[in-house]
């Protein structure tokens, strides 16, 4: 079991949820929000799988966040539309 804490000023909440959906087939992932963080509890019976999923999920969520904020900043969609 591993807890991944993602700061909500850096990661878009919707991007975190999308990343969870993508990686849910590789590990059990539960999200709770605590103050300024999304806390993801990642579990897998396979050795090393939770850590791998945590790294990949964090990278994917960050990429989605950057993409989303880039689209908003350039007027191509997202919440600023």
User: Residue 41 sits in a domain of what CATH number?
Assistant: 3.30.70
Q: Which domain holds residue 10?
A: 2-71
Structural domain total, the chain: 1
80 lies in a domain? Answer: no
57 lies in a domain? Answer: yes
Tens-place pLDDT, residues 28-74? 999 999 999 999 999 999 999 999 999 999 999 999 999 998 866 66
79 lies in a domain? Answer: no
Check if the beta carbon of residue 6 is closer than 8 Å to that of residue 36.
no
DSSP 8-class letter at 61: H
Whether residue 20 has pLDDT greater than 80: yes
**pTM (whole model) above 0.75:** yes
Question: Which residues are bridge partners to 47 per DSSP?
Answer: none
């Amino acid at each position: 079991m591993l807890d991944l804490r993602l700061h909500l000023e850096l990661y878009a909440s919707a991007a975190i949820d999308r990343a969870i959906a993508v990686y849910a087939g590789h590990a059990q992932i539960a999200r709770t929000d605590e103050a300024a963080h999304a806390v993801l509890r990642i579990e897998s019976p396979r050795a090393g799988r939770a850590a791998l999923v945590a790294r990949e999920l964090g990278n994917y969520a960050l990429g989605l966040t950057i993409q989303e904020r880039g689209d908003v900043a350039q007027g191509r969609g997202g919440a600023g539309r």
